[in-house]
Amino acid sequence: MLIPKKVEKALNEHLALEMGAIYHYLAVASWCDKERYEGASAFFHKQSAEEQLHFMKFFNYINEMGGHALVPELKKPLSVYKSIVEVCEKSLEAEKKVTKSVYNLVEVARSEHDHGTVEFLKFFIDEQREEEVQFTKLLDKIKLIGDGPQSLYYIDKEIEKLTAKAGKKDKKAAAGE
């Protein structure tokens, strides 16, 4: 086995957060659809798809390294929100939990001298930094725009811009840049 048991256990625990993120973003996208935030809905659908890729990277890594990836049990995510601001705040909170877990995984892998897993996790460290910065900037923009009824259109457009930005990032990643 190429992966220490302690690392395998920690990675399997992390899978629940990644799967939870998939469900969270799907629930948020559905709420945005219902509220007619079309730009935000597209963005959160894309976020969910990205989280599924992350989940599969962890899942496949565990198995590839001789471990046994376990499909996590999940509770239903929150599906009703008071505002688009709350949606973004909850999303930032969720990303911070994932970041904390990734950092914990690095510490566990280091303590077990599992250099391969430390190297594998570098991608996720960078990814989590981008996610937290993205939601922090978005919340800052919403504060500038305001969250009154007149402002909701502009907020939706700001979130929609993130979808286009993510698409460009995906194309660069696929091209190996």
**Per-residue pLDDT at 167:** 58
- Domain containing 75 equals 5-174
Greatest C-alpha distance within the chain: 59
In CATH, what number is assigned to the domain containing residue 92? 1.20.1260.10
Residue 88 backbone zone (phi > 0: left; psi -120 to 50: alpha; other: beta) = alpha
Domains in the chain: how many in total?
Answer: 1
- Mean pLDDT, all residues of the chain: 91
The pLDDT of residue 134:
93
Residue 1: which pLDDT band, with cuts at 50, 70 and 90? low
The interaxial angle of helices 5-35 and 84-111, nearest 10 deg, is 170
pLDDT on residue 157: 82
pLDDT at 176 over 60: no
- Taking only the tens place, the pLDDT of each residue in 124-151 is 999 999 999 999 999 998 888 887 777 8
Mean pLDDT of 112-133: 96
Given pLDDT bands bounded at 50, 70 and 90, which one contains residue 94? very high
Using one digit for the tens of pLDDT, what is the confidence trace for 33-74? Answer: 999 999 999 999 999 999 999 999 999 999 999 999 999 999
Burial of 110 (0-12, 13-18, 19+ CB in 10 A): middle
172 vs 8, which has greater pLDDT?
8
pLDDT of residue 53: 97
pLDDT attached to residue 113: 97
Residue 170 has pLDDT above 70, yes or no: no
Q: How far apart are CA 2 and CA 19, in angstroms?
A: 24
